[in-house]
């Protein structure tokens, strides 16, 4: 996550105190809501009773299913963070966002919404104002964790220390695993959703017109901005041909030895005679 500005730190502190959560838990939820483009979140933190989901104007789910008091606090926290994010136009990207939810042994995409930001009417009376939440990115950078030239993703997601951003038009998929950002070429895949095994750094897969595909099968474009090295060319096999610098006389000697070998094979020359003639001829080289 980008560095909070002084105003941003004050805002997050105020929200944390208002809902009775720690600054660390509130920052974790802010990251989750940002990954949901401000309208949804999938989170995992001890203060929220572990993993859960939130959707603006919809359901709130926590692992402690019957703890309605916690659900209300989480919903209030997410709503306030959503309002803060909505007041930062540069944080909301046009496009579709795909959320992830737990399903058996892995995490799969269950919901997809298209939006172009929050409805202006919903923001009337927003108490947070337009102050900058984050320290502005350095000139020439986008401030995002993916390469700046890819601009805005069609979908993003995060789970178990792995986050992804998918760029359909550019045919690129960017995966961040513990700070290692890898860009993949999605080829002609028409990606419809992502899933991840339930483990830290678990294998990420996606569904396309060809079925369920492992991300590792895609060509790597770069890793932390560095293109993959081309495989080293195998050395040509070593041969011992007649030197191209051999004189015409030398070539005659080799030809003579070959003819003598043919005579030996036919029994015209004995092994001893062939060996003697061969040694004599090689001695002239």
What confidence tens digit (pLDDT) does each residue in 191-210 have? 877 777 654 445 678 888 88
Put the strands of the sheet holding 155-159 in their side by side order: 155-159, 162-167, 172-177, 180-185, 220-223
What percent of the chain stands above pLDDT 70?
71
Higher-pLDDT residue of 123, 134: 134
**Whether the Cβ atoms of residue 59 and residue 8 lie closer than 8 Å to each other:** no
Q: Clarify whether residues 103 and 205 are in a common domain.
A: yes
**pTM assigned to the model:** 0.46
pLDDT at 129 over 50: no
Rounded to whole angstroms, how far apart are CA atoms 230 and 252? 45
Domain count, the chain: 3
Q: Clarify whether residues 81 and 161 are in a common domain.
A: no
Q: Clarify whether residues 254 and 167 are in a common domain.
A: no
In a domain, 69, yes or no: yes
Helix then strand then coil, in percent of the chain rounded to 5, is 30, 25, 40
Q: Clarify whether residues 87 and 101 are in a common domain.
A: no
Q: Clarify whether residues 201 and 151 are in a common domain.
A: yes
Q: Clarify whether residues 101 and 227 are in a common domain.
A: yes
Structure tokens at 190: 């028409």
Q: Clarify whether residues 8 and 70 are in a common domain.
A: yes
In a domain, 241, yes or no: no
The dihedral sign for the CA sequence 45, 46, 52, 58: negative
In a domain, 194, yes or no: yes
Structure tokens at 236: 């040509």
Give the domain extent around 36: 1-92
Q: Clarify whether residues 168 and 58 are in a common domain.
A: no
In the predicted model, what is the mean pLDDT of residues 236-244? Answer: 48
pLDDT at 98 over 60: no
155 confidence band (pLDDT: 50, 70, 90): confident
Determine the straight-line distance between the first and last CA of the chain, rounded to whole angstroms: 76
In a domain, 121, yes or no: no
Which residue in the block uniquely carries the two structure tokens 């195998």? 234
Q: Clarify whether residues 48 and 102 are in a common domain.
A: no
* pLDDT attached to residue 233: 61
Q: Clarify whether residues 7 and 76 are in a common domain.
A: yes
108 confidence band (pLDDT: 50, 70, 90): very low
In a domain, 14, yes or no: yes
In a domain, 137, yes or no: no
**Whether the Cβ atoms of residue 171 and residue 150 lie closer than 8 Å to each other:** no
Q: Clarify whether residues 153 and 191 are in a common domain.
A: yes
105 confidence band (pLDDT: 50, 70, 90): very low
Structure tokens at 155: 């979908």
Structure tokens at 248: 């015409």
Whole-number average pLDDT of the chain? 75
Structure tokens at 235: 């050395």
Q: Clarify whether residues 190 and 216 are in a common domain.
A: yes
In a domain, 239, yes or no: no
In a domain, 118, yes or no: no
pLDDT at 28 over 50: yes
Q: Helix and strand tally (H, E) in the chain? A: 5, 13
Rounded to whole angstroms, how far apart are CA atoms 279 and 282? 5
């Amino acid at each position: 996550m980008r560095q909070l500005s002084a105003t941003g730190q004050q805002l997050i502190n105020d929200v944390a105190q208002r809902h009775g959560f720690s600054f660390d838990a509130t920052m974790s939820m802010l990251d989750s809501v940002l990954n949901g483009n401000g309208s949804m979140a999938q989170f995992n933190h001890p203060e929220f009773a572990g993993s859960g989901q939130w959707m603006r104007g919809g359901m709130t789910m926590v692992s402690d299913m019957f703890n309605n008091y916690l659900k209300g606090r989480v919903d209030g926290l997410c709503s306030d963070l959503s309002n803060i994010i909505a007041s930062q136009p540069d944080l909301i990207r046009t496009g579709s966002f795909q959320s992830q939810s737990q399903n058996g042994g892995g995490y799969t995409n269950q919901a997809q919404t298209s939006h172009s930001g929050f409805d202006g009417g919903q923001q009337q009376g927003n108490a947070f104002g337009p102050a900058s939440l984050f320290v502005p990115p350095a000139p020439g950078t986008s401030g995002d964790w993916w390469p700046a030239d890819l601009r805005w993703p069609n979908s993003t997601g995060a789970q178990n220390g792995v986050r992804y951003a998918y760029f359909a038009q550019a045919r690129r998929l960017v995966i961040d695993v513990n700070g290692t950002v890898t860009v993949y070429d999605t080829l002609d895949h028409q990606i419809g959703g992502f899933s991840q095994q339930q483990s830290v750094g678990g294998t990420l897969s996606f569904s396309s017109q060809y079925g369920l595909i492992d991300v590792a099968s895609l060509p790597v474009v770069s890793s932390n901005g560095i293109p993959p090295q081309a495989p080293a060319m195998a050395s040509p096999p070593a041969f011992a041909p007649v030197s191209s610098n051999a004189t015409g006389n030398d070539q005659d000697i080799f030809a003579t030895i070959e003819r003598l070998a043919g005579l030996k094979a036919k029994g015209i020359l004995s092994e001893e005679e062939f060996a003697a003639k061969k040694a004599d001829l090689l001695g002239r080289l």
